Amino acid sequence: MNPKIKEALEWVYCIIIAIVLALLFRYFIGTPTIVQQVSMKPTLLEGQRLWLNRWTRTTKTLPKRGEIITFEAPSEKFYTTSEIDKNHPIAKYEDEPTKIIGKFVKYVLEIGKESYIKRVIALPGEHVEIKEGKVYINGEELDEPYLQDGVETDVEGPGFSDFVVPENTVFAMGDNRPHSTDCRAFGCIPLEKIESTVAIRIWPLNKWGHVD
């Protein structure tokens, strides 16, 4: 084989291996991201950069209350009154890819996939009530120091305001309650749709560190 062709092939192999390793690390371990939504103000602002921990997805570990997570956006974000099933308050994921190539493009390359970032509020088996601008877990008012003063939690339209969180799901909301489309509208998030937890904020530098 021509030495130049051999050298070129070796470089191609090295590049392919590097890309594969980068994709595996990104999918199973962690990845950086940029905040593009206003739903987590004042905790997270648009343009801030975060490091996401995806090891929780790899190990199928349920996040804890108070942790900030990212998850795949449901296929249906708002329900009519007749579509609400408070006995099965789980977000709908329909028209998912069935072929390997489609799954690779969507879940590994993350092309054509929309994700949300919200805070975990309630865990499996807990009774959630949203009333009079407050959140109650198993009958006790939830202390939420991360909310801005005066912010109230309401449910607009035929959303989920009184239900029990199903097994292997979490109930999550944005800190910017009046401007957050979250589980109040579409239901709880299945464990398999949770992509990561927010590990640290890496930009701006004066805000570097753990995000509460």
* Domain boundaries defined on the chain: 3-207
**How far apart are alpha carbons 6 and 144 in whole angstroms?**
62
Q: Which residue's structure tokens are 């996939």?
A: 113
Q: pLDDT at position 109, please?
A: 87
Q: Which amino acid is at 66?
A: G
Q: Is the separation of the CB atoms in 81 and 75 below 8 Å?
A: no
Which two three-digit tokens encode residue 7? 């050298």
Instruction: Quote the radius of gyration of the chain (alpha carbons, Å).
Output: 20
pTM over cut 0.75: yes
Instruction: Burial-class residue 139 by CB neighbours within 10 Å (0-12, 13-18, 19+).
Output: exposed
Q: How far is CA 196 from the centre of its chain?
A: 6
Q: pLDDT at position 45, please?
A: 96
Q: What are the pLDDT digits (tens) for 153-184? A: 999 888 999 999 999 999 999 999 999 999 99
**How far apart are alpha carbons 1 and 54 in whole angstroms?**
43
Name the stretches of the chain with pLDDT < 70: 1
- The closest alpha carbon to 53, from 70, 34, 36, belongs to 70
Q: pLDDT at position 80, please?
A: 87
* Paired residues of 68 in beta bridges: 119
Fold of 3-207: Umud Fragment, subunit A (2.10.109)
| Secondary structure (H, E, C), the chain | CCHHHHHHHHHHHHHHHHHHHHHHHHHHCEEEEECCCCCCCCCCCCCCEEEEECHHHHCCCCCCCCCEEEEECCCCCCCCHHHCCCCCCECCCCCCCCCHHHHHHHHHCCCCCCEEEEEEEECCCCEEEEECCEEEECCEECCCCCCCCCCCCCCCCCCCCEEECCCCEEEEECCCHHHCCCHHHHCEEEHHHEEEEEEEEEECHHHCECCC
